[in-house]
Amino acid sequence: MTSRLRVAILLGGPSAEHDVSLVSGAAVVRALDRDRFSPFPVRIGLDGRWSFEEAGADAGAAADAGSLTLAEALERLAASADVAFIALHGPFGEDGTIQAILEAIGLPYTGAGVAASAVGMDKPLFKRLVEGLGLPVIPWLEVSRARWLADWPGELARLEELARSAGDARLMVKPAANGSSVGMTLAHDADERTLALEEAFAHGPRAIVEAYAADAREFELAVLGSDDLEVFGPGEIFPGHEFYDYSAKYEEGVSDTTPRADVDAETADRLRHLALAAFRAVGAEGMARVDFLAPPGRLFLSEINTIPGFTPISLYPAMVEAGGISFAELCARLIDLGLARAGKSGASPP
């Protein structure tokens, strides 16, 4: 008889998405089948220190007392876990950093590998890649803090040309490598663009500026698997705010979503085709949520999220569940996929 698989649920993290990650991680801890798994939360603080909880502990109650440095934590993690379930969002957790760390200690983990995570998190890099492959993306520009400081009039002129070519003064301004709409601003006119860029630069040295897609529907699709891929959705978002900002994403009752968008068969097939193309383009594994903007008569690939939200109102698990896979089964399948990539079986040694 084999013992239960020891699963370290990594949650929190030193990013602006720390609180969202805590919710996602706690949901995974609750969902895992205790007959097969022995899950324990590993909370990474905003200060980068790690706290371990006993198997069966409530992830939301993880304490800071006795927290460990990275080196101490990795030694303990390697000794106490058979696999890591990464429930981290944003920088450090979703950009290839934690993936590289886990590779270094030889611990299998869920989701995409180092390269796919890095490309998926870096919005300009992702857009260059998929645009080069012929996938449709909305007109965009990258602005660095260095160029902004050296020649802000010239950079504003570039943004003005982007808005003029799109026929709309509004521009979406985002940090180049962040998630959950953190640091994202809709600049309605030229006067708001400076403040929007400064907000984006507060979260990193680069920003991405996109033309505004007026009257666009917002679709999301869920991709699951590594070799044999399944696609679920499209789902649709109905933002409760002017755009799908942080509170619209995570505060209950602000926005509406549906895991089954009301679209014709041709549009649904096109969305699924593009979602698979984006997933394969970055070399993703395990899971990803692929987002789209669809203004009247157009369809644009927006971004890929290699660690989508697993909160109670997150659309990724809702789309998968609408396709017949429960949340608990989804979590177990992601663990199995991570073990298979590492060439390991789904049970710990006797």
Q: How far apart are CA 131 and CA 137, in angstroms?
A: 6
What's the total number of domains in the chain? 3
Residue 96 domain-assigned (yes or no): yes
The confidence score (pLDDT) of residue 28 equals: 97
107 and 125 in a single domain? The answer is: no
183-209 confidence digits (pLDDT tens): 899 999 989 999 999 999 999 999 999
User: Is 18 inside a domain boundary?
Assistant: yes
Please check whether residues 252 and 310 belong to one and the same domain: yes
How far apart, in Å, do the first and last CA atoms of the chain sit?
6
Q: Are residues 92 and 9 in the same domain?
A: yes
Regarding whether 275 and 185 lie in a shared domain, the answer is no
Whole-number pLDDT of residue 64 = 43
The verdict on 180 and 236 lying in the same domain is no
Burial label, 192 (beta-carbon count in 10 A; 0-12, 13-18, 19+): middle
Same domain membership, residue 194 and residue 123: no
Domain of residue 272 covers 119-135+214-327
Q: Is residue 276 included in any domain, yes or no?
A: yes
Mean pLDDT score across all residues of the chain: 91
* 90 and 184 fall within a common domain: no
CATH number at residue 231: 3.30.470.20
Domain match, 218 and 317 both: yes
Question: Catalytic residue positions?
Answer: 17, 180, 250, 289, 291, 303, 305, 309
Is 97 in the same domain as 10?
A: yes
**Residues 257, 124 share a domain:** yes
| Residue 35 structure tokens | 């007959």
The pLDDT tens digits for 56-89 are 555 554 444 468 999 999 999 999 999 999 999 9
pLDDT digits (tens, 9 = 90+) for 131-144: 999 999 999 999 99
Distances (CA, A) of 24 to 10, 193, 222, 337: 10, 33, 16, 19
How much is the pLDDT for 313?
Answer: 84
**Domain contains 59:** yes
| Reported pTM | 0.90
346 lies in a domain? no
pLDDT of 244 above 90: no
**101 has a pLDDT exceeding 60:** yes
Asked whether the beta carbons of 119 and 305 are under 8 A apart, the reply is no
- Check residue 178 and give its pLDDT: 78
144 with 131, same domain: the answer is: no
Mean pLDDT of the region 318-323: 97
The residue ranking higher by pLDDT, 21 or 16, is 21
- Torsion, Cα 18 6 279 300, to 10 degrees, reads -30
CATH for 168: 3.30.1490.20
- Domain presence at residue 347: no
Q: Does residue 186 lie in a domain region?
A: yes
Give the CATH number for residue 38. 3.40.50.20
| Same-domain check for residues 263 and 314 | yes
**Does some domain include residue 350?**
no
Residue that finishes a domain, picked among 160, 194, 211: 211
